[in-house]
Structure 1
Amino acid sequence: MPDWDALVREHGPAVLRIAVRILGGLPDAEDVTQDVFCEAWQIQASQQVANWPGLLRRLAVLRSLDKLRRRRSHAPLTEDHLVDTAEAPHDRMLARELADRLRGCLCQLPEQQAAVFSLFYFEHLNREEIATTLGTTVGAVSTAHSKARRNLKTALTETLQEPNCDQR
């Protein structure tokens, strides 16, 4: 039986970070973090876990995406969640809006594509690490990554061309 205090201490910050990046807010991310560790507890009761970091990352991404998909309206990003290189308030507002739209489009992707995209861009994992985390091959990760980028580009382009969007 694993030392749960040590697991939470060691991997809790990474699980929370993944959830915050996907969900855009701390309260939902804290709920997901708790759900991830509860689910991990149930998994370890029925089978041996060989890769705790991989399992916890995978669960964090999947549960965060589940929560994002269940939302009707998307939570706005706060200043803490943006890398603010823009100086003008208008630029900051556009960056927030784009991040919200990305989050909305991300939750429309198939689960594998959304998980690969999240681990690659939010956690900066390489394809081999993602394959290990998701229990798949590097080729499958590359395919999912390519499809996710293409689908997000299409979705964001369509979203930005909607009649109610300002064209600047």
Structure 2
Amino acid sequence: MSEDQEKKPTQADQPEHSDKAPKPPKAGKPDKAEKAKKGDKPQEPVVIPVPRLQEKYYKEILPGLKEKLGRANRMSIPRLEKIVVNMGVGKAIADKKYMEEALEALKQITGQKPVVTNSRQSIANFKLREGMAIGCKVTLRGKRMFEFLDRLVSIALPRVRDFRGLS
């Protein structure tokens, strides 16, 4: 070592502080074997039921389309990939509470958190500026998509007055 560098004191060089009490040993995490003993009974996996419409689609509709269209490859058959539920909120330009109500309504309808959509361009007649929040949307895929479509077709739409079907 050079003379200009100072020697750092080590623990052995420092005097012991007798007025401090020694630290108690740390309580470690229980071993994995002990954890296994606590939960003697193995938990059974939770079985999530397949949506009714999804089951019908794979068992009845898909084979019927395959036969009707004359296609051997299952991936070439038209299928549902996603459902986008959109809500435009024109009054949100003047009052932000309308947007909050729309977000909550869409969340209740779909069971999923909506995404706020912003305007792409300014329109002077509507007092709209680029980037203002003017709507919200939810993209449903997989099981949520089939559940939503099943409830829409079998429960919600038949309750609409003068409902004549979908085109």
TM-score bracket for the superposition, by shorter chain length: under 0.3
Higher strand share: 2
Give 1 or 2 for the bigger CA radius of gyration.
2
TM-score by length of 2: 0.23
TM-score by length of 1: 0.23
Higher helix share: 1
